[in-house]
Structure 1
Amino acid sequence: MDIDDELRKLFADDRLSVPVRPAADRVIVSGARRIRRRRAGAVFGGGMLSVATVLVAGTAFGVAGDAPPRTPLAAAESSGLTTTTESPSLSPSTIELTTSVAPPPTTTQRRTTTTTPPSTTTTSATPTKAKPPTTPLAFGPTAVGSLRLGMTVDEAVAAGVIQPVTPPPAPVAGCQGYDWLGHTAAPSTSPLLFSPTLGLVRIGGRADAETPEGIYAGSSEEDVRAVYPNQAKPHSGTNEWVAPVPGNPSANYWLVLSKHTVTDVRLELAAQDCYQ
């Protein structure tokens, strides 16, 4: 038997025959329809994806007005143009649109603080110098008004400018104290002092007193030392400055000080017997 007879015998064998499934034609038609629906869904999903991408791109870049003009679908169809879009078979559920917003740049600001040192006010310890008297009473070099050194009590009373101290202080070595008429001094002070042998030896106790050199009640000790740099004689009183009177060698200025300021100007005899 040759090869041809063997092949014919093989193909004629019933074991090679494939039984046909009942309603096989309906199964084939249904399967074809399912395939077409899947392809249509994939095409529709791809079209929607394309539209969404265009919308996102238009939102992101369309503000600047640089996007090229697009031809509406109706215009494309009316012009006879056919557009074929091929998209991968993706399910709409697998499409994820992610919008990333860049964080604003971090800006580091350095604040510079300028500290202004508080102002410092320096208060001087030097007392304020008093103004000189408006109408000064000249003390020296030999007299003060109607009073002159060496005059007697009777002569001074007759001038009408003195009065006894009330109450009278105790006499010092027989010397008697008087006040200015209308200018009462402290009870312990005798602005005018008379010696029984030398007459009027001290004239003081006036707030309007001023020497010819410009020293008055209220002048500073520094001014006193500048005007009268030398004392007439050593003096034990720490708050008194005794200086010779310019133009009268028989008299001295006794300048009483308190807190480095003149409080009383006195014109006195350089040689007297009431006190040292």
Structure 2
Amino acid sequence: MFTGLCAFPLTPFTAGGIDEEGFSKLLARLTAARVDSLGILGSTGSYAYLTREQRQRVATLAKQHAGDIPMMVCVGAVSTDAVLHLAEDAQAAGADALLLPAVSYQTLTDDEVFGLFETVTRHASVPVCVYDNPGTTHFTFTDELHGRQRSLDGVRSVKIPGVPDTPAAAVDRVATLRHHLRPGVTIGISGDPFAGLGLNAGCEVWYSVCGGLFPETAKQITQAAASNDPVRVTALSDRLEPLWALFRKHGRSIRVMAAAAGVLGLTDIDCLPRPLLPLPADDIAEIAQVIAELDLK
């Protein structure tokens, strides 16, 4: 479950709610490409904007398309009770794993976050991936907190937000984190511009936004990593610098991916949940040009 390419698709919207047809088209690209796993309702999947009922529907749709591809579903919410309800729904929909961020309104302490994971892993019947995403949750997992989670058998993977921007420093960061984790817990790189560095530094999985729309392109990178070919990993990742530049330009990759899905005709150009707005026409044209120039698939 927690190796290779975990692809995180958009949850597209129309004025009437979830765009189920568009979502099905996105999932069809991922299953046709045989990604290693699906990451449903992550940040790119707009989990924070959906009701409990909508999230259950999205998970159910995803499972209908997944076939034998494992599915991880995000269950992030502000209250522990809400998380437990979402975990029940995700498991009922057929989730093979749960993705759990430390979502908050009041600033959380390490003890509070540990208590959340202790509670969820005690109640869940499937493994949990720790979602460290300080850019959205405003909580950063310390290595000490990761070390405390060694006692939680249900924690099987850690999704980190990135690594330092030099190969040696990236290797040191992954090694240091691994020292705090229980043996067998995988480390997954996210923050797509760091994918090559993270995979070459020893991360076993890429939790990928890019892979959620361009799975064939992303799989080339994870397959090179699986073949122990760091030179090719670096070259393939560096080739995507124009895409990474778009992510940086627009602050969050979700806006770029939403525009790209529209350019490809898989969703409406305006497919984000409000209050998020689609990018202006000039930016969408630039995204279309990058897709064509890089031959993203």
Q: TM-score, with normalisation over the residues of structure 2?
A: 0.20
Higher relative contact order (CA 8 A, sep 6+): 2
Query: Which structure's residues are more often strand, by fraction?
Result: 1
For the pair shown, which has the larger CA radius of gyration, 1 or 2? 1
Looking at secondary structure, tell me which structure has more helix per residue.
2
